[in-house]
A and B are shown apart, each in its own frame.
Chain A
């Protein structure tokens, strides 16, 4: 079956711009979580959605936001981009909130 699909795979944005990343979970999965991966900080939890509701949120500024649609697809948005937002953004989906999380390939965002 198809895995977690993240689009786009690569993005280059300018400081101050905003960006939207997309995640399509595995068919039937209702939980989607987002992580930021950087060389210095590693993988850090951003937020988790289940049935269109945000269930958990990490320690990131309000510039980072997300949502989940009725078909479980999820988007995350970063506004007023900063150089430090350059990272690999990973999405993971689970059947339920307490089952194994499967990661996508990620979106590599570069802010210049």
Chain B
């Protein structure tokens, strides 16, 4: 069993929809949680990061962490075709961004 589980999708939604992306994990020691976006043939781009449990909002993006359930989510409001990409969750035991453990990614398709 992988340390971090993520539905590979694809997840297809119409433009303007609210998108919910999720990851579950098995190691309760993870402290930092991130979401990356990866376009085809590009490197991952950091969207959001949170420490421990709670919510964090940045524009159309909201990240949620529920450590008691070992579950993290990323919500995208008013989705746009330009949001079509693979979304990767990542987490780490240590401070900050060392030795990230990634989910396999969810492919999101937003149709006009």
Contacts and interface: CB of A to CB of B under 8 A. Distances in A.
B102 A43 contact: yes
Contact of B96 (A41, A55, A97, A102): A97
B96 A99 contact: yes
Given A4-B43, A43-B88, A106-B43, A100 B97 contact: yes
A103 B45 contact: yes
A103 B104 contact: no
Interface residues of B, number: 22
A98 B42 contact: no
Contact of B102 (A44, A55, A105): A44
Interface in A81-112: 90, 92, 94, 96-106
23 contacts: A41-B104, A42-B105, A43-B100, A43-B102, A45-B101, A48-B99, A56-B98, A56-B99, A90-B43, A90-B44, A92-B43, A94-B97, A97-B98, A98-B95, A99-B96, A100-B46, A101-B100, A102-B46, A103-B36, A103-B45, A104-B43, A105-B43, A106-B43
* SS of B interface (majority): loop
Contacts of B102: 35, 42-44
A58 interface: yes
Contacts of A33: 98-100
Contacts of B94: 98
Interface string A31-63: 001010000011111001000000110100000
Contacts of B42: 105
A101 to B, nearest CB: 4
Contact of A58 (B49, B97, B99): B99
A103 B95 CA distance: 18
B60 interface: no
A94 to B, nearest CB: 6
A12 B73 CA distance: 38
